[in-house]
């Protein structure tokens, strides 16, 4: 740069120009700014998403909406309500009663995480949270079964009520397993589908067992 | 300009002909890994050990063993490393389960089914299934046994699930760890032909526990004789899988140590079965206590059931 040593810029030449931002049309990015909308809109949008997923679970068709926009609100609500309804199980001593709230919570979440890890280790293409979302939402039929069981138990706890509860729980268990299999089975390599479906079956079986053996105080 | 003839392709003779023309040329020979292993195996094998071939499976088990070393090459902190332990298909898992329930006398489970592809899917989910099966069956059996009694109040006994889980998972992971450590230690003193990796031992133990699952379901039947017959039967089946796997590994050792090792394996397996039966399933009483039935005329009649 030795040749440029004697170059100088005169200070009395003004630098001028125009800095303008072309005003484009209404850009789509502005629609996603949710800071200015009323709180009611924000909450209702999330609630509608959760509700739409509930409907997807009750009528399991092969749709990718459940997988694409995963959220964990639904599973949380279902898990908490199921664990709350499983409270109040009879216990002669503290050790022999039904599952406590923390036990149900841990079983559901830990079980869902283990199944997700299992399907990913076997070579599945679904993402971690999508799988958790599907497994959590498919607990909905079993929560409905728990509700029905509690109502039936209010009427009485004899043999007939047990048979009704058994039929309801078995039906909902089948529904849960079929719903989650419909969503999850496609993302697995074809010769390992059974290896992935079996833990899901075991998971919902354990939850159904907890629901069926619930006896009120 | 070179003649067109000079630009023709030349066929090169194969190595033998070239060597014959030029015997002193230096050559490099690269053997196939299988041939090297066959040579080594032939040298180590003593004449009186033909039964080893049966126990060790077919000949290409050596090749798969050497090739297996190239499989798990991902570093252990990546997810792909753990994926290599789940590299099984449905039919492979079913085959391994079948092999553990119907042990073929003389065939080694590890060589025949695992063949240097140990998986963690089978042991983990068989243990999980066993935990819940024992807890549920125990609960059901107690329920049916005490059904008629007025003093009995059904409890789900949920705490027993966590106890069952701890016991079975500890058995399925700590005993293989101890056994593997022991075999490594003996291997350093006595040169054994057969040695197993830790995962293969975990695999054998996991799959051998499978036969306890239908046994636990059948334990619901509240007859003492039936239960003990089932214990003996399942112990024979799964114990034989374990014995046939580990006998070739310790047989070269001191006779007493070999027998003690195999004996300990069977004893621990039996303890697991008997312990589960005793803890989760109430003993069926031989005489039911006589129920007291109020008769029509107000007097109570005691009848024997």
Give pLDDT tens digits for A47-102: 888 888 888 888 767 666 667 778 888 899 999 999 988 886 655 555 556 677 88
- In whole angstroms, what is the distance from residue A53 CA to residue A58 CA? 9
* pLDDT for B287: 45
Residue contact A215–B158, C-beta within 8 A: no
* pLDDT for B296: 53
The winner for highest mean pLDDT among A17-21, A101-105, B15-19, B283-287 is: A101-105
Residue contact A123–B86, C-beta within 8 A: yes
Query: Which has the higher per-residue pLDDT, A33 or B52?
Result: A33
> Is the per-residue pLDDT at B127 higher than 90?
yes
A92 Cβ under 8 Å from any chain B Cβ: yes
Lowest mean per-residue pLDDT among A56-60, A79-83, B71-75, B139-143: B71-75
Residue contact A206–B90, C-beta within 8 A: no
Question: From B157, which residue of chain A is nearest by alpha-carbon distance?
Answer: A96
CA distance B118 to chain A (A): 14
pLDDT band at B261 (very low <50, low <70, confident <90, very high): confident
Chosen for mutation from B158, B164, B279 (greatest number of chain A CBs closer than 10 Å) is B158
Q: Quick one: average pLDDT of A112-128?
A: 88
* pLDDT for B146: 80
Q: How far is CA B253 from CA A35, B21, B114, B125, B194, in A?
A: 76, 54, 24, 34, 12
CA distance A38 to chain B (A): 43
Lowest mean per-residue pLDDT among B72-76, B93-97, B292-296: B292-296
Residue recorded with tokens 């007939």: A160
- In whole angstroms, what is the distance from residue A70 CA to residue A50 CA? 9
A91 Cβ under 8 Å from any chain B Cβ: yes
> Is the per-residue pLDDT at B70 higher than 50?
no
* pLDDT for B53: 43
Residue contact B88–A96, C-beta within 8 A: no
pLDDT of A158-213, one tens digit each?
788 889 999 999 999 999 998 888 888 777 888 888 888 999 999 999 999 988 88
Q: How far is CA B227 from CA A204, B5, B27, B234, in A?
A: 29, 90, 70, 11
Contact list, B121 vs chain A (CB under 8 Å): 118, 121-122, 195
Q: Quick one: average pLDDT of B43-60?
A: 44
Contact list, B136 vs chain A (CB under 8 Å): 209
pLDDT band at B133 (very low <50, low <70, confident <90, very high): very high
Query: Which has the higher per-residue pLDDT, B221 or A22?
Result: B221
Nearest 5°: the CA angle B245, B248, B249 is: 90
Pairing of strands B300-302, B292-294: antiparallel
* pLDDT for B25: 56
Torsion angle defined by CA atoms of residues B204, B210, B212 and B214, in that order, rounded to the nearest 10 degrees: -160
Residue contact B159–A95, C-beta within 8 A: yes
For the beta carbon of residue B239, count every other beta carbon within 10 angstroms.
20
Residue contact B90–A195, C-beta within 8 A: yes
- In whole angstroms, what is the distance from residue B149 CA to residue B289 CA? 9
pLDDT band at A15 (very low <50, low <70, confident <90, very high): confident
Question: From A118, which residue of chain B is nearest by alpha-carbon distance?
Answer: B121
* pLDDT for B20: 55
> Is the per-residue pLDDT at A28 higher than 60?
no
Tokens found for residue B209? 């526990």
Contact list, A205 vs chain B (CB under 8 Å): 132
C-alpha closest to that of B245 among B119, B127, B138, B103:
B103
Q: Quick one: average pLDDT of A26-33?
A: 56
SS3 sequence, A13-59?
Answer: CCCCCCCCCCCCCCCHHHHHCCCCCCHHHHHHHHHHHHHHHHHHHHC
Q: How far is CA B154 from CA A85, A96, A217, B139, B151, in A?
A: 18, 10, 11, 9, 10
* pLDDT for A96: 59
* pLDDT for B294: 52
pLDDT of B217-257, one tens digit each?
999 888 889 999 999 999 998 888 888 888 887 777 778 88
Q: Please count the residue pairs, one from chain A and one from chain B, whose beta carbons lie less than 8 angstroms apart.
A: 68
**Angle between helical axes of A159-184 and A193-212 (0-180°, round to 10):** 150
* pLDDT for B292: 53
Residue contact B86–A90, C-beta within 8 A: no
pLDDT band at B60 (very low <50, low <70, confident <90, very high): very low
* pLDDT for B168: 92
> Is the per-residue pLDDT at A135 higher than 70?
yes
Residue A89, beta-bridge partner list = A216
Q: Of A95, A121, A214, which has the smallest distance from its Cβ to B86's Cβ?
A: A121
CA distance B174 to chain A (A): 21
C-alpha closest to that of B248 among B293, B196, B185:
B196
pLDDT band at B30 (very low <50, low <70, confident <90, very high): low
* pLDDT for B84: 82
CA distance B115 to chain A (A): 19
DSSP string, B247-283: HHHHTTS-HHHHHHHHHHHHHHHHHHHHHHHHHHSPP
Q: Of B90, B154, B156, which has the smallest distance from its Cβ to A192's Cβ?
A: B90
pLDDT band at A115 (very low <50, low <70, confident <90, very high): very high
* pLDDT for B192: 67
* pLDDT for B281: 84
The winner for highest mean pLDDT among B41-45, B48-52, B92-96, B214-218 is: B214-218
> Is the per-residue pLDDT at B305 higher than 60?
no
CA distance B127 to chain A (A): 12
A202 Cβ under 8 Å from any chain B Cβ: yes
* pLDDT for A207: 92
DSSP string, A96-161: SSS--HHHHHHHHHHHHHHHHHHHHHTT--S-HHHHHHHHHHTTHHHHHHHHHHHHHHHH--SHHH
Residue recorded with tokens 């009848």: B303
Mean pLDDT over the full length of chain A: 82
> Is the per-residue pLDDT at A128 higher than 80?
yes
CA distance B246 to chain A (A): 28
Predicted ipTM of the assembly: 0.76
C-alpha closest to that of B248 among B37, B35, B36, B57:
B57
Q: Quick one: average pLDDT of A111-140?
A: 89
A56-67 core/surface letters (b: 16 or more CB in 10 A; e: else)? bbeebeeeeebb
């Amino acid at each position: 740069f030795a040749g440029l040593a004697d170059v100088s810029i005169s200070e009395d030449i003004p630098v001028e120009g125009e800095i303008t931002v072309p005003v484009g049309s209404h850009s789509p990015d502005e629609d996603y700014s949710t800071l200015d909308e009323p709180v009611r809109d924000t909450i209702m949008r999330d609630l509608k998403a959760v509700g739409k997923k509930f409907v997807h679970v009750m009528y399991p068709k092969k749709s990718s909406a459940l997988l694409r926009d995963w959220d964990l609100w639904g599973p949380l609500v279902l898990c908490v309500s199921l664990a709350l309804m499983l409270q109040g199980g009879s216990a002669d001593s503290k050790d022999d009663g039904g599952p406590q709230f923390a036990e149900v919570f841990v079983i559901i979440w830990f079980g869902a995480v283990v199944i997700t890890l299992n399907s990913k280790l076997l070579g599945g293409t679904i993402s971690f949270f999508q799988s958790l979302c599907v497994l959590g939402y498919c607990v909905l039929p079993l929560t409905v079964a728990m509700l029905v069981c509690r109502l039936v138990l209010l009427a009485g706890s004899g043999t007939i009520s047990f048979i009704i509860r058994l039929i309801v729980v078995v039906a909902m268990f089948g529904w849960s397993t079929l719903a989650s299999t419909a969503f999850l089975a496609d993302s697995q390599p074809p010769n390992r589908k059974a290896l992935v479906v079996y833990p899901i079956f075991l998971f919902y079986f354990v939850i159904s067992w907890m629901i069926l053996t619930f006896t009120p105080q | 300009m070179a003649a067109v003839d000079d630009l023709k392709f030349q066929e090169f003779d194969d190595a033998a002909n070239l060597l014959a023309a030029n015997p002193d040329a230096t050559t490099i020979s690269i053997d196939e890994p299988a041939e090297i292993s066959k040579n080594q195996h032939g040298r180590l094998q003593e004449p009186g050990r033909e039964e080893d071939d049966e126990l060790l499976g077919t000949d290409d088990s050596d090749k798969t063993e050497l090739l297996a070393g190239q499989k798990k090459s991902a570093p252990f902190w990546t997810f792909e490393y753990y994926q290599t332990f789940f590299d099984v298909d449905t039919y492979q898992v079913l085959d391994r389960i079948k092999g553990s329930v119907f042990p073929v006398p003389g065939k080694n489970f590890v060589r025949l089914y695992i063949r240097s592809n140990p998986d963690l899917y089978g042991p983990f989910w068989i243990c999980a299934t066993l935990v819940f099966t024992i807890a549920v069956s125990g609960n059901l059996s107690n329920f049916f046994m005490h059904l008629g009694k007025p003093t009995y109040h059904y409890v789900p006994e949920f705490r027993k699930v966590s106890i069952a889980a701890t016991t079975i998972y500890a058995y399925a992971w700590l005993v293989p760890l101890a056994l593997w450590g022991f075999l490594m230690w003996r291997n350093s003193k006595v040169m054994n032909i057969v040695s197993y990796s830790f995962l293969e031992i975990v695999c054998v133990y996991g799959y051998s526990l499978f036969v306890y699952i239908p046994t636990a379901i059948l334990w619901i039947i509240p007859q003492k004789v039936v239960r003990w017959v089932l214990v003996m039967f399942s112990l024979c089946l799964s114990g034989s899988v374990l014995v046939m796997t580990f006998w070739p590994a310790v047989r070269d050792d001191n006779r007493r140590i070999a027998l003690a090792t195999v004996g300990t394996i069977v004893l621990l397996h039996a303890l697991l079965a008997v312990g589960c039966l005793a803890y989760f399933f109430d003993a069926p009483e031989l005489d039911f206590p006589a129920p007291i039935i109020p008769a029509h005329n107000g007097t109570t009649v005691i009848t024997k059931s």
